[in-house]
Amino acid sequence: MHCSSLGEFEQGRPVLEKIRSQYPRYKVLLTFFSPSGYEVQKNYDGADWVFYLPMDGRSNAKRFAEIVHPSLVIFVKYDLWYFYLKEINKRNIPLLLISALIEKSKVFKWYGRMHRKMFGLISHFFVQDAESKKLLDKAGFSNSTVAGDTRFDRVIEIAEKFEPIPLIENFITGHKTIIAGSTWQEDDIVLKKTVEIINDPSLKLIIAPHELGERNLNDLKKLFPNSIRYSQLSTPNSQLSTCLIIDNIGILSRLYKYGDITFVGGGMTSYGVHNVLEAAVYSKPVIIGPFYKKYIEAIGLVDCGGALVIKNEKELAVTIRELLTNTGDSYIKSAKASGNFVQQNAGADRKILQFIQENRLLTN
């Protein structure tokens, strides 16, 4: 399985782990392009080997295929490498593209010629939405299935295997809490101004920044003087702080469960909002900034009422107050919509595994 980065790995992971469970005699090789994926998952125990994929090229692809001799190859979402695809196709090795989103420009524009060429080398597409399948059909690729996004399956799996975080439980006991995840500086500034507007010392804010570098953590401390880092929570009087800054990796997907309200960062920047599903799976109201329309899961969550969009600190303060003071109506409606949205879109991994089984791409 090849993933560009950490986000794509999270999409491929449910499929990879089900394959490993159902076909235990096969070895698993996981490759990455980006250090942000490899460095975090290089010790992932769901694979027998984790490597960078050598740069695309005719000789590299040929040598790779000769050494690895794969029975099945899966690419996640995008990051297609032409010479690897060509070599895999030449050897008649099944090649699946999963959790794919097909852009019109990559199919019908003149500069999409290389993508069309690569698409012709793929055995089967598992796409996230009907529009992607429609584009593939129109381009002459009838070998596609609308399976949805495997990230829905992944967040459900995480929620079902939830492990408590005692330090967080102690920090928030008796307090309404906002969990702000994957925040950028623009998000942090809005959160700072929002806290000042609300001016409620009983309200606790937990921030898990997108960047964990020392410089960014120090900048957060300046923005929130009464804050404490997660690594310092066991120190005396740490419970007196109103703001907690998460300075480690790996707990955000569980952290959202502890929030009365969740705020997913990225939406105040042109980069776009981060993964809203990690918060929505716990049936929590999700608040995001206006830059979310590049992501179909965020659009879907907004459309169903599970995510609420704000443009500035004034709107964020109004939204938080409304949710926290009207828990019998708007809060329950938004929370229920979030959880339902995730559950209703689950099942992509099952469709992919069913295809592998029915077509005997792997055998026990």
Report all structural domains of the chain as residue ranges with CATH numbers, in order of start. 2-148+347-358 (3.40.50.11720), 161-344 (3.40.50.2000)
Look at residue 105 in the predicted model and tell me its pLDDT: 75
Q: Which residues contact 98 (CB under 8 A, 6 or more apart)?
A: 11, 12, 15, 74, 75, 76, 77, 126, 147, 150, 348, 352
CA distance 241 to 231: 14
Q: Which stretches of the chain drop beneath a pLDDT of 50?
A: none
Look at residue 250 in the predicted model and tell me its pLDDT: 82
In angstroms, what CA-CA distances link 360 with 72, 120, 147, 356? 11, 21, 19, 6
Look at residue 237 in the predicted model and tell me its pLDDT: 67
Look at residue 327 in the predicted model and tell me its pLDDT: 59
* Angle of the 296-303 helix axis to the 330-344 helix axis, nearest 10: 140
Give the torsion through C-alpha atoms of 169, 172, 177, 180, to 10 deg.
-60
Q: What is the rounded end-to-end Cα distance, in angstroms, of the chain? A: 19
258 three-class SS: helix
- Reported as a single tens digit per residue, the pLDDT across 154-189 is 999 999 999 999 999 999 999 999 999 999 999 999
- Claim: this prediction has a pTM higher than 0.75: yes
Look at residue 110 in the predicted model and tell me its pLDDT: 63
